Structure 1
Amino acid sequence: MKKAVKVRWWGHACIEIVYAGKRLMIDPHDGGSLGVGWNPPPSGPDFVLVTHEHYDHNAIEKVATSNTKVYREHVGKISLPPFEVEGVKVPHDEWGGKLRGEVVA
């Protein structure tokens, strides 16, 4: 039997991927500081990836528990079973990063 992959967008840049009973969340926000009435994403993911340290991408305190493994701006391959992830630095703006630096995608 095939396992389903579930992907959910929690607003702004926050995405959650659920597969084989594990939850991977990318760029959690705190909800309120975005000014659009979103709630923060649900707590308790197994893994959290933060692409860069802006307030609207790194609200770890809103989602992480003592069991959550957090990776901030991780470049390179990483195994987070059942997920395999590779972080690559890319410009955060259309001017090659001159205005806003780099992020990990």
Structure 2
Amino acid sequence: MKRRNFIGYAGAGLSTAIFSTLVSHVEANAQSSGVSVQWLGHTCFLFTGGGKRILVNPFRTVGCTAKYRPPRVTADLVLISSQLLDEGAVDGLPGNPKLVFTPGAYEFQGMKLQGIATDHDRKGGKQFGVNTVWKWMQGGVNILHLGGAAAPISIEQKILMGRPDVLLIPVGGSDKAYTAEEAKQAIAVLNPKLVIPTHYRTQAADPQTCNITPVDDFLTLMQGTPVRRSSSDTISIKSGDLSDSTAIQVLTYKF
């Protein structure tokens, strides 16, 4: 099915421009004000900056997300990595946000976005299909959200992804997302300035059905990389404040 048949899914329309050349970098605004990143649980984050609010991967509260609050926040644009319930549940979102969930190059209110297709499992996509990695620049910060990536990053994908200022990466494993070791390998490939781990076990999990591991398993594996633990679910980021070497930022969900 062609991309135009997907845009407008769940009743949300999106005016898009499809670019003939896929770009791997977007120029930063020299007068950027930065971006606020709020963790809403699992792989769901709200990015606020540059006059826009972008919501990524709203979920249904079941399994590993059972005790999180439904992420029904106001946003201008919603990006989802797949239509699985833990990263693509858009029912009940307030307002009329624009929605994109297929790979490709887009423009939204002057902002360029790139959706990059990767496998959502270790079987060439045969089990869970395509995962869409989202790349964009907001408030002068180059953001890369890997969604539910499970396969190694190819050379072609790395070219499209570039070097992110902020990388959001799954670390808890399962059949449809990176294990801690796989996440470490992807970080070595992408060399981000700041890593925000996602998709790991918290007290929100239903212990009978959730099979992902805690973030501490990943942090132990990444010994030697600076780790910042915030007591908040939100962090403000400016590109100029980031070190050139990789650091890890762990946010705290407010139950």
TM-score tier by shorter-chain length is 0.7 to 0.9
Q: Is the contact between residue 102 and residue 132 of structure 2 (CA under 8 Å) also seen in structure 1?
A: yes
CA distance in 1: counterparts of 2:110 and 2:52, whole angstroms: 7
Which runs of no fewer than 5 residues in structure 1 stay unpaired?
none
Separation in structure 2 between the aligned mates of residue 82 and residue 12 of structure 1, nearest angstrom: 29
The partner residue of 2:119 within 88, 91, 96 is 91
Cα offsets for 1:39-82 (capped at 9, x unmatched): 0224210000111111111221232412x1111x2221111235
Residue 104 of structure 1: CA displacement? Answer: 1.2
Q: TM-score, normalised by structure 1?
A: 0.81
- Higher gyration radius (CA): 2
Asked whether the equivalents of residues 78 and 84 of structure 1 are also in contact (C-alpha less than 8 Å), the reply is yes
Paired position in structure 2 for 1:48: 78
Identity of matched residues, %: 25
Distance 1:2 1:99 in 2: 41
Distance 1:78 1:55 in 2: 24
State yes or no: 1:65 paired with 2:98.
no
Contact kept? 1:43, 1:65, Cα under 8 Å: no
The whole-number CA distance in structure 2 between the counterparts of 1:45 and 1:29 is: 15
What TM-score, normalized by structure 2, do the two folds share?
0.37
Q: 2:107 aligns with which of 59, 76, 79?
A: 79
SS of 2:121's partner is: coil
Residue of structure 2 aligned with 1:14, choices 31, 36, 44 = 44
Larger relative strand fraction? 1
Alignment RMSD (CA, Å): 1.9
Q: Which runs of 4+ in 1 moved over 4 A?
A: none
Higher share of residues assigned helix: 2
Compared with structure 1, are the counterparts of its residues 83 and 16 closer, same or farther at alpha carbon in structure 2 (3 Å cutoff)?
farther
Q: Which residue of 1 aligns with 2:62?
A: 33
How far apart are the structure 2 equivalents of 1:95 and 1:59?
24
The amino acid across from 2:74 in the alignment is: G
The count of aligned residue pairs is 102
